[in-house]
Amino acid sequence: MAKDPVRVLVTGAAGQIGYALVPMIARGVMLGADQPVILHMLDIPPAAEALNGVKMELVDAAFPLLKGVVATTDAVEACTGVNIAVMVGGFPRKEGMERKDVMSKNVSIYKAQASALEKHAAANCKVLVVANPANTNALILKEFAPSIPERNITCLTRLDHNRALGQISEKLNVQVSDVKNVIIWGNHSSTQYPDVNHATVNTPSGEKPVRELVKDDAWLTSEFISIVQQRGAAIIKARKLSSALSAASSACDHIRDWVLGTPEGTWVSMGVYSDGSYNVPAGLIYSFPVTCRSGEWKIVQGLSIDEFSRKKLDLTAEELTEEKALAYSCLS
Ligand code: NAD
Ligand code: LMR
């Protein structure tokens, strides 16, 4: 029997991530090839005409799974009945700007959209915040949507996770699908800590630790970390625009694994509400290694954290604590 359609909201749908993301959702990349979807697309009035153009293209593409499209500049209409909300709308970082520069522009947007989601989304709506500063926007959304369970509000660090997998695969000249269990700790910013201490590669002679195969500890503890931390800035420098296809694809990975589950023995990185695990301060949206089952994520427990890693985990937590204070100061 055919499944009922799932309503998926994409905010900022006329923007460049939106343009890459909505066809992926309509093709089943996010929720599976047997899951019909109804797309809700929100943007602001100056982008209304472009948004309508995206809607026209969705019709023209004749996606079999796409059962309806709502394209609107009204947040209430956009949020009504949605089961999944991918929050991409906002002001993007431009060359030379730090994430903090875009903070004040974005936190007020997230405060307003929190209320619309809280009042009008379907019960148990899952929220993924992509727009930067992603962790802090998600935190603001959580604070101003108190009736949405905190476990339902997450932010995107899967792009950083995928970037880390990509770098290891290039370094070792192995398939990216054979690399697993890297971790992104903390903020989606240049203080994030890409950690390979528990990562492995599937080789013809079994699973081997990344550290054993790379052999170059200096590369792993300096260049690798900074390449992943700075990859967003490198893309902006190269394209004069921030990453879009990789962000859209990673947003699909994030929701797919959350809803459909992570493969056995594999974890992924998600920005989630900290419960104090690994001595990360509670009350931040912080990227942890998680496994997902039956639509629920769970932080992977019991991983060893060496002294080098501890410092990195604390540094990015400090930045998030500062961002939280700055966000509140922008709202007052
Ligand atoms: P973009 O400027 O191309 O698109 C943003 C869209 O949001 C625009 O169409 C704009 O009109 C719309 N918008 C602005 N205010 C809005 C509001 N209040 N409600 C609804 N829509 C609104 O930007 P982009 O390149 O698509 O990037 C979007 C965001 O994603 C940026 O904040 C960017 O920094 C962030 N980003 C995050 C990651 C990540 O991994 N977390 C990766 C890449 C980009
Ligand atoms: C990215 O990681 O590509 C985005 O967050 C863009 C940015 O601002 O770095």
Ligand at minimal distance from the CA of 106 is: 1
Nearest to 287 by CA among 235, 330, 228: 228
User: How far apart are the CA of 233 and the centre of ligand 2, in A?
Assistant: 6
Among protein residues, the one with the nearest Cα to ligand 2's atom 1 is: 232
- Determine contact, residues 224/231, Cβ cutoff 8 Å: no
Q: Which atom of ligand 2 is nearest to the CA of 243?
A: 3
Q: Rounded to 5 degrees, what are φ and ψ at 267? A: -115, 165
* Residue 188 appears among annotated catalytic residues: yes
Residue 134 CA to residue 99 CA, distance in Å, equals 9
User: How far apart are the CA of 160 and the centre of ligand 2, in A?
Assistant: 9
CA 326 to mean position of chain CA atoms: 22
DSSP string, 252-294: HHHHHHHHH-PPTT--EEEEEE--SGGGPPTTSEEEEEEEEET
Among protein residues, the one with the nearest Cα to ligand 1's atom 17 is: 89
Per-residue pLDDT of the chain (332 residues; tens, 9 = 90+): 789 999 999 999 999 999 999 999 999 999 999 999 999 999 999 999 999 999 999 999 999 999 999 999 999 999 999 999 999 999 866 667 766 677 888 888 999 999 999 999 999 999 999 999 999 999 999 999 999 999 999 999 999 999 999 999 999 999 999 999 999 999 999 999 999 999 999 999 999 999 999 999 999 999 999 999 999 999 999 999 999 999 999 999 999 999 999 999 999 999 999 999 999 999 999 999 999 999 999 999 999 999 999 999 999 999 999 999 999 988 87
Q: Rounded to 5 degrees, what are φ and ψ at 39? A: -90, 130
Nearest to 159 by CA among 189, 179, 201, 137: 189
Q: Which residues contact 265 (CB under 8 A, 6 or more apart)?
A: 180
Enumerate residues lining ligand 1, CB below 6 A.
11-12, 14-18, 42-44, 47, 88-90, 92-93, 109, 130-132, 134, 156, 159, 188, 242-244, 247
Catalytic: which of 40, 161, 188, 254? 188
Apex 276 CA angle, 258 and 297, nearest 5: 10
DSSP state of 221: I
Most ligand 2 atoms within 8 A of CB, residue of 21, 88, 93, 106 to mutate: 93
Residue 271 CA to residue 299 CA, distance in Å, equals 10
Chain position carrying tokens 């949206």:
285
User: How far apart are the CA of 15 and the centre of ligand 2, in A?
Assistant: 14
**What was the pLDDT predicted at 99?**
60
Complex ipTM: 0.99
Q: Report the C-alpha dihedral over residues 47, 48, 50, 51, rounded to 10 degrees.
A: 110
pTM above 0.95, yes or no: yes
**What was the pLDDT predicted at 100?**
65
Locate 224 and state its tokens.
């690798």
Residue 258 CA to residue 254 CA, distance in Å, equals 6
Q: Rounded to 5 degrees, what are φ and ψ at 157? A: -125, 10
**What was the pLDDT predicted at 93?**
66
User: How far apart are the CA of 236 and the centre of ligand 2, in A?
Assistant: 8
Enumerate residues lining ligand 2, CB below 6 A.
93, 132, 159, 232-233, 235, 242-243
Measured on CA atoms in the order 7, 295, 176, 299, is the torsion positive or negative? positive
Half-sphere exposure (Cβ direction) of 184: Cα atoms closer than 13 Å: 29
Among protein residues, the one with the nearest Cα to ligand 1's atom 35 is: 131
- Determine contact, residues 313/193, Cβ cutoff 8 Å: yes
Chain position carrying tokens 């809700």:
40
Locate 289 and state its tokens.
């290694």
Q: Which atom of ligand 2 is nearest to the CA of 235?
A: 3
User: How far apart are the CA of 51 and the centre of ligand 2, in A?
Assistant: 23
Would you say 130 is a known binding-site residue? Answer: yes
- Residue 196 in 3-state DSSP? coil
